[in-house]
Structure 1
Amino acid sequence: MSEQPEAFYLPTGEDVYEPTSATESPWDSDAQHGGPPTALLAHAIDATVAPGMRMARISVDFLAPIPRRTARVEVTSLRPGRQVRLTEAHLIVDGRAAVTARAWHIATGPTPPVRTESVPPPPLPPAPTEEYDFHGLTDWGYGQAIEWRFTGGQDTRGAAQVWTRVRIPLIAGRKLNGLARALIVADSANGVSATLPFHEWLSIPPTMTTTLLRHPEGDWVYLDARTHLADDGLGLTDATLSDPDGRLGDVAQPLLIRQRTT
Structure 2
Amino acid sequence: MASSTSFFTTLDGLWFQPTEHTRGPWDEHACHAGPPTGLLARAVEQLFPEHRLTRLTVNLQRPVPFDGFHVHASIVRQGRTVCLSEAHLVDRSGKTVITAAGMHLLPASPVEDMPSYQQDMGSPEQAAAGPFPIESTLHGQPAFNGAGVAVRYPAGQNNAPGPTRAWLKTVPLLDSETASPFQRICPLADCGNAFGRNAEPQDVTFMNTDLTLVLHRDPVGEWLGTDSVGYWETNGIGLADALLFDATGVVGRAMQTLVLRKN
Residue 128 of structure 1 contacts residue 147 of structure 1 at CA under 8 Å; is this kept in 2?
no
1:241 to 237, 241, 244: 244
Instruction: Give structure 2 stretches of 5+ with no counterpart.
Output: none
2:189 to 175, 180, 186: 186
Q: Give 1:48 deviation, angstroms.
A: 1.4
Alpha-carbon distance between aligned partners in 1 of 2:224 and 2:199, rounded to the nearest angstrom: 25
Q: Give 1:122 deviation, angstroms.
A: 2.1
Residue 157 of structure 1 contacts residue 195 of structure 1 at CA under 8 Å; is this kept in 2?
yes
Instruction: Give structure 1 stretches of 5+ with no counterpart.
Output: none
Residue 131 of structure 2 contacts residue 159 of structure 2 at CA under 8 Å; is this kept in 1?
no
Q: For residues 244 and 26 of structure 1, do their structure 2 counterparts lie closer, same or farther at Cα, with a shift above 3 Å needed?
A: same
Q: Give 1:60 deviation, angstroms.
A: 0.6
Alpha-carbon distance between aligned partners in 1 of 2:232 and 2:131, rounded to the nearest angstrom: 28
Residue 45 of structure 1 contacts residue 87 of structure 1 at CA under 8 Å; is this kept in 2?
yes
Q: CA RMSD in A?
A: 2.0
Amino acid at match of 2:55: R
1:84-123 equivalence runs, <5 A? 84-94=82-92, 95-112=94-111, 113-123=113-123
What residue number does 1:225 align with? 228
Deviates further, 84-93 or 10-19 = 10-19
Alpha-carbon distance between aligned partners in 1 of 2:133 and 2:114, rounded to the nearest angstrom: 43
Residue 12 of structure 1 contacts residue 18 of structure 1 at CA under 8 Å; is this kept in 2?
no
Amino acid at match of 2:134: F
Deviates further, 247-256 or 175-184 = 175-184
* Aligned-pair identity (%): 26
What residue number does 1:160 align with? 164
What residue number does 1:202 align with? 205
Deviation digits for residues 189-212 of structure 1, max 9, x if unmatched? 101111022102111110110111
Q: Give 1:71 deviation, angstroms.
A: 0.9
Count, aligned residues = 256
Deviates further, 245-254 or 126-135 = 126-135
Deviation digits for residues 67-123 of structure 1, max 9, x if unmatched? 101211111111111211110011111211111111100000023442313122123
2:52 to 51, 54, 57: 54
Q: For residues 139 and 149 of structure 1, do their structure 2 counterparts lie closer, same or farther at Cα, with a shift above 3 Å needed?
A: farther
Alpha-carbon distance between aligned partners in 2 of 1:128 and 1:180, rounded to the nearest angstrom: 25
Residue 26 of structure 1 contacts residue 140 of structure 1 at CA under 8 Å; is this kept in 2?
no
Alpha-carbon distance between aligned partners in 1 of 2:32 and 2:39, rounded to the nearest angstrom: 12
